Amino acid sequence: MDNVKRILVPIDSSEIAERAMQQAIKINRFNEAEVHILYVADINKLAINAYLSGNVLIEIEKAGQRILNAAKELFPEGMKIVCAYRTGDPAEAIRDYEKEISADLIVMGSRGLGLVRGVLLGSVSKYVLEHAECPVLIVK
């Protein structure tokens, strides 16, 4: 894993996401890479998305920020951590963020807390694996 400058770790609040973060820590043991923790609020799945009030959206973002802050605490002091919050389809948001930061590696869980789970891989991890421009490490 030479020349890894930016590691993207998409998270939710699942145990598998925590294992992905631990794997990213191992990969970045010399603290040479910048680790980007990305949380995507999947508000597109809500049928009433168009009717969500501004207050509800603010509360969803606050919850996402709490998840990011808790995740950041799991990383060793001195490791360069960037937290990012997005809304929308998680698979597409991860892919867009990968391009935005020119990620060298994505480390993510095999499945998260989505409403519909894939048989072998979650639909999000499967999409990212198939569409990412950089290597993807799927953690079980």
Q: What is the CATH number of the domain that holds 74?
A: 3.40.50.620
pLDDT digits (tens, 9 = 90+) for 81-104: 999 999 989 999 999 999 999 999
Q: How many domains does the chain have?
A: 1
Would you say 24 and 139 are in contact if contact means Cβ atoms under 8 Å apart?
A: no
113 lies in some domain: yes
More confident residue, 6 or 116: 6
Range of the domain at 88: 6-139
pLDDT bucket at 57, cuts 50 / 70 / 90: confident
* Segment holding 49, helix H or strand E: none
Report the SS3 class of residue 45: helix
Residue 89 tokens read as 């389809």
**Percentage of residues of the chain with pLDDT beyond 70:** 83
Range with the lowest mean pLDDT among 94-103, 108-117, 125-134?
Answer: 108-117
25 lies in some domain: yes
Report the SS3 class of residue 105: strand
Would you say 138 and 19 are in contact if contact means Cβ atoms under 8 Å apart?
A: no
1 lies in some domain: no
Would you say 135 and 105 are in contact if contact means Cβ atoms under 8 Å apart?
A: yes
Q: What was the pLDDT predicted at 117?
A: 43
